[in-house]
Structure 1
């Protein structure tokens, strides 16, 4: 019986100590159960112990009343009570010693855990700050993704417009190329016509030079004829003077024949004939003079016309030379234009090739922009998912922080309780156990 009492009290105290340990680790339900069991076991042991004391008290009262037949040592109650009390004291001493040790351990563990929780709290704050920064960066990333997506859409629209403009440009280049081919053909025809015109102008120049030479030769002959006509006019003047002298001599001869009478009649007839011949010669010389003057006038007119013709041929030569020079310039300009048109055709073909390359590249860029837009949408979805998970982590971290703060508060309370328990345990004098 005494062993059961001793075991009950010891077990009850152990349950109470276990309840403190459960309370330290925030095991509220196990702590309450252990406390209840410990109190129940101690209460049962205490009731049995009180019953034994009551029996001893009744025996002592019977003896005091004079009943010496009372059995004081029935069932060895005193001995059992002493042994139980001694065992209880020994167990209580061990429990107090264990309580002191556990209190010290609790205080040390509480302080270490408080320090650790302080560090964890600071780390939690830092992590919370980092998560806030991450959320801020994620929002900026989402904004950048939205802007990039808008730019991608704008680029796609610009590329479509550029592709349309390039197609229009290629059509215009093809039309320009056809026009340049036609212009080149026209330039070749003009070159041929200018060559023929140049040959015709050279032939006309040679004919003009021949005509000018002929006119110059005619002018020299006309001058020679004019000189001969002037000489004839001089001879006509001489003949006229001779006729006048002859007429005067004939008149003198007639006068002398009249003075001679019949002897001079034959001489008078001769003188009369000579006078008539002189008159006829004078008339003929005057007529010849008129004809010669008319011829000289015609010759002068022909000379003036020849001079004008020579001047006209000179102007024709100048004009033909100008035409030849102009045709040469036109030929050179047509040659240069033809060369430039060929170069322009090559450049247009090069521009057309480049336009086709740009069109192909723009289509590739359009596809890449579409892929970039799709990738940006995927990145935005991933970013939103990361943002949600980060918000969840932040919420969990806040809960952890609150739990740490609550644990810290509980540890502070446990530390204070352990200190009070240690202070209350220090009132007991116990043996030093190794």
Structure 2
């Protein structure tokens, strides 16, 4: 019986050590879960900030696109006005050419009139004066039309340069619109990705919180089992001490068994009761062993999950 109780005590001690190891592993798992929860929370905050930045960037790009479209429209309208001014200037140039042609013909007619007045002699003097004034007026008109023509030509050159510059500006604005549109697409992709990351981080945080609660329950269960194991260990040690006394009593009683059979029967009854207690402790130890194995399996599951 003493050996049996010693075996039970040894088993209880081993169970106590196993529970202690499970408790340490559980604490480590709990710490790892808290770290994962913290990381998930940080990722959630960062992804939310990235999503907000991408959202603001998208709004800015949309505003830029709207502004560039307005600029493109105004540049196109200005180019049309400048081209219209160029066409008007060309029409003025043609009118100037007509005026210059008329002035040249008038000058020629004035010259012919002066010749005819000279042939008329004294009777043609008055007509000669008029013809000379007409010639001077024609020369002045011709000079003015040439100056206006030069000015119109200069305006036409400037208008053509302005039209070319506006067309180039319109192309650049169009390219800017395309680039801004592409930037908007990229920012929208970033926004979607950031929102997806934030969603995953939130889910990870929720899962970590559930794991944390389960880990706390596990820690509580391990602590409870540890307390039970400690109590049973103390009980088995006490029973081991009592069994030594009972064994000594049995030996003493055996030496005087013939003289005190009633005492032997009483000791025998005590021994049977002690054996029943040992069997009960053994059953408790086996139950604790199964609980320890379950806890170790649970710890293994947590380690695999981590």
- Do both proteins adopt the same fold according to a TM-score greater than 0.5, normalized to the shorter chain? yes
Q: Which residue in 2 is equivalent to 1:162?
A: 25
Q: What is the distance in 2 between the residues matched to 1:196 and 1:224?
A: 42
Unaligned segments of structure 2, at least 5 residues: 242-306
- C-alpha distance 365-300 of structure 1, shift in aligned 2 (>3 A): farther
Report how far residue 194 of structure 1 moved: 4.7
1:267 and 2:120 are equivalent in the alignment:
no
Report how far residue 218 of structure 1 moved: 1.9
Q: Give TM-score scaled by structure 1 length.
A: 0.45
Q: Which residue in 2 is equivalent to 1:76?
A: none
- C-alpha distance 262-365 of structure 1, shift in aligned 2 (>3 A): farther
Residue 243 of structure 1 is aligned with which of 103, 107, 117?
103
The superposition leaves residues 314-343 of structure 1 with CA deviations (integer Å, 9 ceiling, x where unpaired) of 133223323432343233233323322221
Q: Which residue in 2 is equivalent to 1:295?
A: 155
Residue 202 of structure 1 is aligned with which of 59, 62, 70?
62
* Structure whose CA Rg is larger: 1
Report how far residue 232 of structure 1 moved: 1.0
Q: What is the distance in 1 between the residues matched to 2:57 and 2:12?
A: 68
Residue 166 of structure 2 is aligned with which of 306, 319, 327?
306
Report how far residue 374 of structure 1 moved: 7.8
Q: What is the distance in 1 between the residues matched to 2:43 and 2:213?
A: 17
Q: Is the 2:111–2:135 Cα contact (8 Å) retained in structure 1?
A: yes
- C-alpha distance 270-380 of structure 1, shift in aligned 2 (>3 A): farther
RMSD over aligned Cα atoms: 4.2
Report how far residue 273 of structure 1 moved: 1.9
- Bigger mean CA deviation after superposition, 298-307 or 168-177: 168-177
Q: How does 1:213-292 map to 2 (within 5 A)?
A: 213-292=73-152
1:357 and 2:217 are equivalent in the alignment:
yes
Q: What is the distance in 1 between the residues matched to 2:72 and 2:43?
A: 45
Q: What is the distance in 1 between the residues matched to 2:13 and 2:124?
A: 150
Q: Is the 2:33–2:208 Cα contact (8 Å) retained in structure 1?
A: no
Q: Which residue in 2 is equivalent to 1:9?
A: none
Q: Is the 1:180–1:345 Cα contact (8 Å) retained in structure 2?
A: no
Q: Is the 2:34–2:208 Cα contact (8 Å) retained in structure 1?
A: no
- Bigger mean CA deviation after superposition, 196-205 or 368-377: 368-377
Report how far residue 283 of structure 1 moved: 1.2
Report how far residue 227 of structure 1 moved: 0.7
Q: Which residue in 1 is equivalent to 2:189?
A: 329
- C-alpha distance 154-259 of structure 1, shift in aligned 2 (>3 A): farther
Q: Is the 1:250–1:274 Cα contact (8 Å) retained in structure 2?
A: yes
1:344 and 2:207 are equivalent in the alignment:
no
- 2:122 alignment partner, SS class: coil
Residue 179 of structure 1 is aligned with which of 20, 23, 42?
42
